[in-house]
Amino acid sequence: MISVSPRARRHDDRAGDPLDGLVNLFDLGVVLAVAFLLAALASLHVLQQVAQHGFKAPNQITVHQNDQVKTVPTNGQRVVGRGKEVGKVYRLDDGRLIYVVPKK
C-alpha cells in the first residue's frame, strides 16, 4: 500500500486541468478563422459593396461615360435556357452597343 505523508496532503494539486490549454487553442483558432475571412472579403472589396448597398444586391448597373464594357466570350457555344426579355440592345453607327432597360 502506498502511504502519503501528512505534509503532502496539505498541498493542492498544482498540475491543473490538462484540457485548459486546449480551450485556449480553440479560442485562438476561432479568432484566426475570423481574421482570414475578413482578409478574404477585403481583398474582394465585398465590405465596400455591403457598406454602399447593404446586403441587397444592386438591381442596376451604372456605366459612366468613357467606361469600357467588355463582352463575355461564349467560344462559339450555343446558350440554351428559358427567360424573358428584360431590355433591348442597340448597335450605334460606331459599333458600340447600348442596352436599354424599360421602366417598370
Whole-prediction pTM = 0.38
Residue written as grid cell 433591348: 88
CA 49 to chain centre: 11
Backbone angles phi, psi at 95, to 5 degrees: 100, -10
Positions of E strands within 1-104:
88-91, 97-100
For the stretch 1-41, pLDDT in tens is 777 777 766 666 666 777 777 778 889 999 999 999 989 88
For the stretch 48-63, pLDDT in tens is 777 777 776 656 677 7
| Residue 100, strand partner residues | 88
